């Protein structure tokens, strides 16, 4: 029975460590996005009570002192154009969902996925290869400088260390 309790405790510590590190690699941007997952969609929304796609994107970037317009088409004029195969975390990805040019924006989070405010599901992470979005992909823009990218969009050692310490502490309880 004691062994079972120790095993359950170790498992919970590991699960907790990885869930607090975020669904993604563990960057500061991942942490902000993870907190917003599930927020409902609201046309014109710019707060945690509800976001539209550009409101969500602008909100995330504002957390790092980067101001973006509240319009996907206006955002598509910012930064540097990036080829799809050169995407990195924090790049903006744009779609034509209305049939009239750029009408949707999301934030690339790595592994072929992007975070965005979906009209039907609220803030979610979706694969770029998703049938609906793959057909509607238009372009991508890089907003973050290399130094900003290193500070906010790549895995932070402290987050990884936190997960490793929690796992190590859980293993130590078995002795």
Residues that are catalytic: 53, 104, 116
Coil, strand, or helix at residue 71?
Answer: coil
Question: Which residue, among 64, 172, 87, has the nearest Cα to 137 in the 3D structure?
Answer: 87
Please name the helix (run of DSSP H) or strand (run of DSSP E) that holds residue 109, with its range, or none.
Answer: strand 104-110
β-bridge partners, 95: 104, 137
Counting Cα atoms < 13 Å in the Cβ hemisphere of 94 gives: 24
H or E segment to which residue 14 belongs: helix 2-21
Partners of 92 in the beta sheet? Answer: 107, 141
The first and second tokens of residue 115, run together, are: 């975070």
108: left (phi over 0), alpha (psi -120 to 50) or beta: beta
Look up residue 158 and give its two tokens: 């402290």
Containing 142, the helix (H) or strand (E) segment is strand 137-142
């Amino acid at each position: 029975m004691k062994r079972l309790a120790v095993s359950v405790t170790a498992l919970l510590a590991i699960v907790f460590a990885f869930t607090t590190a975020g669904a993604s690699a563990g960057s500061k941007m991942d942490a902000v996005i993870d907190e917003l997952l599930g927020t409902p969609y609201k046309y014109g929304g710019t707060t945690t009570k509800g976001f539209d796609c550009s409101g969500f994107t602008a909100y995330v970037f504002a957390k790092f002192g980067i101001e973006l317009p509240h319009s996907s088409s206006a955002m598509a004029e910012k930064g540097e154009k990036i080829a799809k195969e050169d995407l990195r975390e924090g790049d903006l990805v744009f779609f034509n969902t209305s049939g009239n040019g750029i009408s949707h924006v999301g934030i690339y989070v790595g592994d072929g996925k992007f975070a965005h405010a979906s009209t039907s599901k609220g803030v979610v992470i979706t694969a770029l290869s998703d049938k609906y979005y793959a057909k509607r992909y238009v372009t991508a823009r890089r907003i973050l400088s290399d130094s900003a990218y290193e500070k906010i969009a790549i895995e932070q050692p402290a987050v990884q260390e936190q997960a490793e310490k929690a796992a190590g502490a859980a293993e130590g309880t078995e002795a």
